[in-house]
Structure 1
Amino acid sequence: MRIFVLGAGLMGKEVTRDLIRNPNVEQVVVGDLDISRAEQVCMQLQDNRLQAVYMDTADESNFINFIKDFDVVINATVYTLNKAVAKMAIQAGVHGVDLGGNVNDLAKEILALDQEAKQNGTTYITELGVAPGLTNILVGHGAKTFDELQSIHLRVGGIPKEPEPPLEYNQVYSMDGIIYQYEGKSTIYRNGQQQEIPTLSEVEDIYFERFGPLEAFHTAGGTSTLPYTFPTIKNLDYKTIRYPGHAKKIKLLSELHLLRDDYYVELDGQMIRPRDVLAKVLEPILDLGDKEDVVLVRVILEGIVAGETVSREYELLAEFDREHKVTAMARATAYSISVVAQMIGSGLIHQKGVFAPEQIVPGDVHIDEMAKRGVHIKEKSLINN
């Protein structure tokens, strides 16, 4: 199995670390626009199967020719490259996966490449982060156990183990992605009707083992491809988990237009976007640094089984890896996409086309593989009277 990892950032590094644990992986090539970052990953992980290369996805012909010899391409770069990389992988006849990016229209555009992927004999799976991604896999796994799936409720958060002011939050992925999910509308379903409701709204209390009270509130993008996969779903919502008071503080920033993507002001003869300034200001303030984080996931499914109303709940608590100094978010995300890439490379996933995770990833195998990596997912079922 030969795998090309595009992107030598935190996720790319941890994906690579996981891949080389598998003796059936013959080679892993790490490509980045900054080759020094790719070389550093290879140097730190110290394995003779690793190779670093300079790679610019803007040079389409070179990229397509280069990846033709690989079994799977793992796109661990920013979401803005997802569609371009998917198209090039499919054109090259190479299987691929990406981390998604909480952007619903982008997922639809990639799914629209399905026919071309079938014609080229390739498998491509998009939206393989934590949420969307791991959550979708759990939904797809649980959905098979219902005669009629009626409701999907997702609660997800990457938070510091110990909260600190001013926002009781530390950045565990891109600032652009964080701001995106806070601004705009959240797509939900209630009583079979699609609704667009404000982000940062309908704050609820939520508790996890060793963590609580916490709060959960609507954010953008988390439902991802689920409405397309389950078009008859009655209730569907996604909320982000944070420490209490976080939503109120972010809502103030939103009301001041500091999160808007389309809002510009003139300053000293130049048009600037306050959102860009805010991101630059927040990055050093919210930097996780050497602090520890946790990832909390709860997926609740409700529906009918043998005439009875049943609920199934999947819960994950991933923690910081102290031995390797790896964040919980990187572990939960990188391990998940690496597991799926290896399923494709080994032939376990063999259907051709473009898929959302819930449509194709075998959830039982995924749960077992994540447990082998120290990320445990608990399941419990209840019969509702």
Structure 2
Amino acid sequence: MQFALDKVLILGAGKIGATLADMLVELYGTQVTLADMHPPSTHGDPQLHPLQLDVQDDAALASVLNQHPLVINALPFFCAARVATAAAQRGVHYFDLTEDVAATRTIRALAPQARAVLMPQCGLAPGLIGMLGGHLAGQFDELYDLQLRVGAITLHALNALRYHFTWSVDGVINEYCNPCDAIVGGQLANLQPLEGLENLSLDGQVFEAFNTSGGLGTLCETLAGRVRNLNYKTIRHPGHRDAMHLLLHGLRLIERRDLLRQVLDGAVPHSRDDMVVMAATATGMRSGRLEQLTHNTRLYGAPLRGQQRTAIELTTAAGALAAVELCAQGLLPQQGFVRQEQCTLSALRNTRVGRYVEALLPASAPPGNTVA
């Protein structure tokens, strides 16, 4: 069933939730309910309606879901399964940004009985990078290797960790501590986080990249049997991986994640001076010849409704709203589980949020080709 974007519920009024709300108002004229334990000031904006809500309160969550046809969950990953289950029970279209593999499995299990869309993992990584990876895979007659790299990093991280937080502390810990889906030698595999360290040079600047969890979303399942090697790594400034390895394994804080969160939250600054770096490489046979396609880009922050938004805020929100818009237009399935890579880059380009990720879109690529 198709739906309009005239009334949307956003859960979580943090950096990404607030950006989602502003984009919906600015680009779609949507009436947005922005719900959080600590609802923000909306400065009297008639299209933004703040709501105090504890999603652990089943009755309160059910009540607000019953009043909205669509919900975008921008809460921490550990809330995803609860909110998705409540939305599915009420036939409410559900979208989220989670990188958590276990939460996605739970949401996937709801799909056979779902009357509405269930689309997790539709932000940046997972999200936009899966759309780009799916597009590159679709350009080959026979695909050998697909390597996807993404980093949301600050421009001047000079501290000992060579890192500032640009998004969720919980999300960073989750992706650094859990197994990483991959395809190795044609077989589905789990790789260890923080392993697979490599150096890469992009436009003359040196970065490092290493395995992290969740960035591929469902792409391993989609490309199983069609690619020899597929992996995802997070891009960081050189030295960051070794420092985190010391914390997680040398000091064994991987066994005490609550303490790890306290340490990182108290010692690592947040910064809004960021950029999103993406590097994707595909190798295989095209028209009888071995070829490689590479797409590297950097995305930066920009103003939105009079406020400067960071690169990670804009790209994550744009990835999610592109999926929402394409569903609303009937260009994606209208119920059940929907994968990020079902969005084509040509369709993404034509969405209202496409301007925020224009640099992601290979200008010379044939339109519409993607993996099914």
TM-score band (shorter)?
Answer: 0.7 to 0.9
Q: Deviations over 1:28-52 (max 9, x none)?
A: 11111223x2xx1x22xx5322211
Deviation at 1:294, TM superposition (A): 0.8
- 2:32 aligned with 1:32: no
Q: 1:377 aligns with which of 360, 363, 371?
A: 360
SS of structure 2 residue aligned to 1:302: strand
Q: Which structure 2 residues correspond to residues 199-210 of structure 1 after superposition, within 5 A?
A: 199-209=193-203
Distance in 2 (alpha carbons) for counterparts of 1:241 and 1:146: 26
Distance in 1 (alpha carbons) for counterparts of 2:117 and 2:174: 29
Q: 2:315 aligns with which of 332, 337, 361?
A: 332
1:283 equivalent in structure 2: 265
- 2:348 aligned with 1:351: no
- 2:299 aligned with 1:318: yes
Q: Deviations over 1:53-97 (max 9, x none)?
A: 222322334433432343321111111111121122122112120
1:212 equivalent in structure 2: 205
Check whether the contact 1:5–1:75 (CA below 8 A) recurs between aligned residues: yes
5+ residue gaps, structure 1: 264-272
Distance in 1 (alpha carbons) for counterparts of 2:135 and 2:94: 21
Q: Deviations over 1:210-232 (max 9, x none)?
A: x6111111222323322211221
Q: Deviations over 1:79-138 (max 9, x none)?
A: 11111211221221121200012x223212211212111xx2x11211112111111121
Question: How has the CA–CA distance of structure 1 residues 87 and 318 changed in structure 2, closer, same or farther, with 3 Å as cutoff?
Answer: same
1:269 equivalent in structure 2: none
1:266 equivalent in structure 2: none
Check whether the contact 1:96–1:125 (CA below 8 A) recurs between aligned residues: yes
Q: Deviations over 1:238-294 (max 9, x none)?
A: 11111111112222222324331xx3xxxxxxxxx3x323322322432224x5111
Distance in 1 (alpha carbons) for counterparts of 2:81 and 2:34: 20
Check whether the contact 2:17–2:74 (CA below 8 A) recurs between aligned residues: yes
- 2:236 aligned with 1:242: yes
SS of structure 2 residue aligned to 1:227: helix
Normalised to the residue count of structure 1, the TM-score between the two structures is 0.84
Check whether the contact 2:150–2:233 (CA below 8 A) recurs between aligned residues: yes
Identity of aligned residues (%): 28
Distance in 1 (alpha carbons) for counterparts of 2:175 and 2:332: 31
1:88 equivalent in structure 2: 86
Structure showing greater Rg: 1
Q: Kindly provide the amino acid, as one letter, of the partner of residue 149 in structure 1.
A: L
Distance in 1 (alpha carbons) for counterparts of 2:230 and 2:310: 29
Distance in 2 (alpha carbons) for counterparts of 1:378 and 1:357: 15
Distance in 2 (alpha carbons) for counterparts of 1:26 and 1:180: 32
1:6 equivalent in structure 2: 11
Q: 2:219 aligns with which of 226, 229, 235?
A: 226
Distance in 2 (alpha carbons) for counterparts of 1:356 and 1:374: 19
1:64 equivalent in structure 2: 62
Distance in 2 (alpha carbons) for counterparts of 1:312 and 1:113: 37
Q: Kindly provide the amino acid, as one letter, of the partner of residue 106 in structure 1.
A: A
Question: How has the CA–CA distance of structure 1 residues 374 and 180 changed in structure 2, closer, same or farther, with 3 Å as cutoff?
Answer: closer
Q: Which structure 2 residues correspond to residues 127-146 of structure 1 after superposition, within 5 A?
A: 127-146=121-140
5+ residue gaps, structure 2: 1-5, 366-372
How many aligned positions are there? Answer: 356
SS of structure 2 residue aligned to 1:28: strand
Question: How has the CA–CA distance of structure 1 residues 109 and 65 changed in structure 2, closer, same or farther, with 3 Å as cutoff?
Answer: same
Distance in 2 (alpha carbons) for counterparts of 1:183 and 1:241: 16
Q: CA RMSD of the aligned region, Å?
A: 2.4
Q: 2:168 aligns with which of 171, 174, 180?
A: 174
Q: Which structure 2 residues correspond to residues 100-139 of structure 1 after superposition, within 5 A?
A: 100-101=98-99, 103-117=100-114, 120=115, 122-139=116-133
Distance in 1 (alpha carbons) for counterparts of 2:360 and 2:319: 12
Distance in 2 (alpha carbons) for counterparts of 1:239 and 1:106: 20
